[in-house]
Amino acid sequence: MQCAYFDAGVCRSCTWMGRPHGEQVADKERHCATLLGERDDLVWLPPVTGRESGYRNKAKMVVGGTVENPTLGILDAGGAGVDLQGCGLYPESLADCFGVLAAFVTRATLTPYDVPARTGELKNLLVTQSPDGELLLRFVLRSQEPVARIRKHLPWLLAALPQLRVVSVNLLPDHKAVLEGDREILLTATETLRMRVNGIDLHLRPQSFFQTNTEVAAALYRHATTWVEELAPSSVWDLYCGVGGFALHVAAPGREVVGIETSVEAIASATLSAADLGLTGVRFAAGDATEFALSAPAPDLVIVNPPRRGIGDVLSRWLEASDVRHVVYSSCNAASLARDLAAMPSLRPRRAQVLDMFPQTTHYEVLTLLERV
């Protein structure tokens, strides 16, 4: 993949841009294998790859420039907006909405936030696209001051983007280098975006997490489900479950599945999906994964899909001392995975598979099956 923005030096977010895709994947496999170490009993499955461009289902666009000429993309070193509406990581169906959103900024007189001056209101536009082409849009604002204008002109936006299903405002009053704040104001009657994955509708609310690459995420859930079905556990925990992707995929008659996630929004989404599917053996609860594990009888199998920091020392030590026979560990950071594995010597990795979730970058997902010895 070639990128004019990268070649011009205006955006270097994709650090491996221009490298052959096959070479990228091979390097990720070598990197992961080095971190996990030489293991005679570990089988490496073929890597999962997808499109090397147009693969992102979410656009995180920093808004810069002026009301009359807004930029959607990133900020340069001086805090000025760099427009990246033509970024090749977005599918054409998603990129097509950027021009309409820029026009809406002007129509609703949403002043872009000036980072150096700490003035203005609109910080980011966050857009997520479902596999069916429907959209969820979030305006990240410094205050509620522009909300009335957004509401006033929202009918125009909905007419211009008929695929738009969910619109919300996120409030980020602090001057921080973060993407969003804690408070969300829903502006549409529809509350969730349906992410149809492997025939399962995952309901995505504005503050819920979902994998950036829908195609590879679908493969991740399928492969993990195959492993679980082979083992046929009667009880499963899905820790750090998000909107319930793993839990909903591995649900089966006679199997008790519990999903735990700190995000109340994500748990509400997962519960709605389970109800849609008529699943009675699956339940979800909002809470800390480690605290839950320390307070409940151990299941047959545990699925963990933690953030980049990994599951940490306490949960690793609990798993090591527990009666859990198998762990399916999905990691977006092989370094923290290796640290966690070192704390669980009785749970040996038997299978591993790299999934190229983030082409053009050094990042990847790795799925491992651990078995107690």
Phi, psi for residue 105 in degrees, rounded to 5: -55, -45
Instruction: Give dist(CA 215, CA 160) in Å, integer.
Output: 27
Among 171, 58, 152, which Cα is nearest to 113's?
171
Which tokens sit at 33?
Answer: 């294998």
Spacing of C-alpha 85 from chain mean position: 21
Q: Is residue 159 packed enough to be buried (19+ CB in 10 Å), middle (13-18) or exposed (0-12)?
A: exposed
Instruction: Give dist(CA 310, CA 328) in Å, integer.
Output: 13
273-301: b (≥16 Cβ within 10 Å) or e? bbeeeebeebbbebeebbebbeeeebbbb
Instruction: Give dist(CA 66, CA 175) in Å, integer.
Output: 19
Instruction: Give dist(CA 308, CA 340) in Å, integer.
Output: 12
How many Å from the N-terminal Cα to the C-terminal Cα in the chain? 44
Among 182, 145, 189, 141, which Cα is nearest to 164's?
189
Instruction: Give dist(CA 357, CA 220) in Å, integer.
Output: 9
97 is catalytic: no
Look at strands 200-204 and 193-197 and give their pairing.
Answer: antiparallel
Q: Which of 14, 32, 241, 332 is catalytic?
A: 332
Look at residue 353 and give its three-state secondary structure.
Answer: strand
Phi, psi for residue 281 in degrees, rounded to 5: -95, 10
Residues carrying an active site annotation: 332
